[in-house]
Every structure is written in C-alpha cells, then in structure tokens.
Amino acid sequence: MKGPAAMAATVVLWAGFALSIRGIAGSSLTPVDVALLRFGLPVLVLLPVVPAAVRRIRRAPLPAAVAIACGAGLPYFLTSALGGRLTSATLVGLVIPGTVPVFVTAAVALRRRAMPSAPRLGALALVVAGVTVIAVPELRSGPGLAVLLAASAFWAAFTLGLRRAGLRPLDTVLLVCLPSLPVTVLLAVLRPSGSALLSSTAGLPDVLVFTAVQGIGIGLCAGLTYAVAVARLGPRPAAATGALTPVLVAAIAFPLFGERPTLPLLAGAVLVVAGVIAANTVPDRSRPVNRRSPTLAG
C-alpha cells in the first residue's frame, strides 16, 4: 500500500500548491515572502546533508542541473504566483500539470527526431483541445492563461532535467532550493517594502499556513512522496493518478475562494484530465522521422 498512499499524498500536496498559490493574493504575505518559506525551510531542515548533496549535484550534467534549478525553483514559483493572481486556483491546478505532457513530448520528439505514436498524439490532442476550450473566454480577461502555460513549460524542463540528472530525491530538493534561496533573500532585502516578513506586517496565521503548505508540504514532502509513488507504481500510473489534482483543486476552490466553475472550464477540464490519463497509459512507440523533415529539422 506504500505506492497508492504515497501517490494519494502527492495529489493532496499538489492541490495544496495550486490553492496556496491562488491564496497569496488574499493573504498578508507577498510572493517573495512565500518564496522565502518555500525555499528556506527545506534548506534549514536538510542543512546537515547539504555538503554531501552538493558534491553529488556537481557530478550531474550541467544542462540537467540548470533545468531542475529553474524549472522548479524561483522562476517557476514566481511565474506560477503571477498566473495564480491573474486567474484562479482551478486553472493553476489544471493548466500547469495538465499541459506538462505536451511540452515534454514536444521536447523529446525534437531531441530524438521521432514522432510519438498515434494513440499518444491523440491523447495530447485532447489536452490541447481542452486548453483551447478554456482559452477562448480566458483570453478576453488578460494574459493569465499564457503565464500559466509558461509555468508549465518550466515544470516540463524540470521533468526532463530530472530524468537526465539521476539525483537522489533529497539532492533534487536541495538543487531546487539552494540557488533560489539567496536570490529570494536578495529580492527581499533590496525591496523591504515588498516583504511583509521583513516589514513585520505578516499575519501569524498566514505564516503558519504557508510554512506548512509551501515549506513543508511542497518543499520537503511532495518530491519525496512522488519519488516513492513512481518507484512503487511506475511512472505512467503515477502520472495518470496525478490527473486527479485539478478535480480536487476545483472541489476545494469553490467553497474556499468562491470560484464557481464555468461551462467552458468544466468542459476543458474533462478534456485535459482525459488527455493526461490517456497520455500516461497508452503505449508510446515513437517512430523515426526523416532527417530532412522540415517539421523537426533545424
């Protein structure tokens, strides 16, 4: 039961991330404050293992290490926070994890010069169709959806880097947090008015909530529980189960933030979740593409 329990915990933690990202705007904290908690607490807790982890991180391929540090670190966090402020918790929980398979598949196809199998392309087409259904009304209300797609691209880079780096779960946690923490501290120091923690205006309940959700839940626990789930269940079943995240987010966002799902959002959500599940369950027998193909060459 360790695998299913770990994956269930991961889904809850991922939902907590989406909800907390949306909740920043209504709290006494700023995105920089939450980033300090997100990246600072794991470093503090894991301080005794930092030297050994840094030695292992240095042996990882540099492109993969950069992809991990940026893809799940401060650039991803700030992009997600901006997307959450401009849209809704439901969209954060739907668009970011839902469109990652599209970005990952496109990147792998370009690198290998091989087209995915027809069933997998069909599954990804469902995701694209779902995002398109959601995008039509959202495009009228600002750039929020585009920002969330950028955050998804960051997470896809993290996923690809994770495959190539071959690091332990705790090493990955520190690779995400160690480069992000000093930059976050610098941002807070250079603009103290933009940090409720430094200006002593942060409410204690908000600090406790975001410490629990972002610092402990996302910073420390989510990477470890997902690693256990993948090891016990396999990557495809684990990723397919992760498609339940937006369902949980939507169920909680309604009573918590008053986010009433619209018909396009519900229809798009069904398509995206179905596409993610299919993309992670159908066999992927990529077929080589002619090197001269104008689609993938260059």
Angle, vertex CA 73, rays to CA 197 and CA 48, nearest 5? 75
Averaged confidence pLDDT in the chain: 85
Q: What pLDDT is stored for residue 65 in this prediction?
A: 95
Cβ-proximal residues to 253 (8 Å cutoff; 6+ apart), any chain: 19, 22, 88, 89, 90, 93, 259
Q: What pLDDT is stored for residue 295 in this prediction?
A: 28
Q: What pLDDT is stored for residue 298 in this prediction?
A: 27
Q: What DSSP element (H or E) covers 214? A: none
User: What is the CB-side half-sphere exposure of residue 86 using CA atoms within 13 A?
Assistant: 18
Q: What pLDDT is stored for residue 136 in this prediction?
A: 79
Which tens digits make up the pLDDT trace of 122-149? 888 888 898 888 877 776 778 888 999 9
Whether pLDDT at 288 is above 60 = no
Which tens digits make up the pLDDT trace of 257-283? 888 888 888 898 888 888 888 877 776
Which tens digits make up the pLDDT trace of 222-248? 878 887 787 777 766 777 677 778 888
CA pair distance 144, 290, nearest whole angstrom: 38
Residue ranges covered by each domain of the chain = 2-288
Least confident piece of the model among 8-17, 80-89, 106-115: 106-115
Cβ-proximal residues to 246 (8 Å cutoff; 6+ apart), any chain: 18, 90, 93, 94, 97, 98, 269, 272, 273
Q: What pLDDT is stored for residue 287 in this prediction?
A: 56
Q: What pLDDT is stored for residue 184 in this prediction?
A: 96
Whether pLDDT at 14 is above 80 = yes
Instruction: Give the pLDDT band of residue 296 (cuts 50, 70, 90).
Output: very low
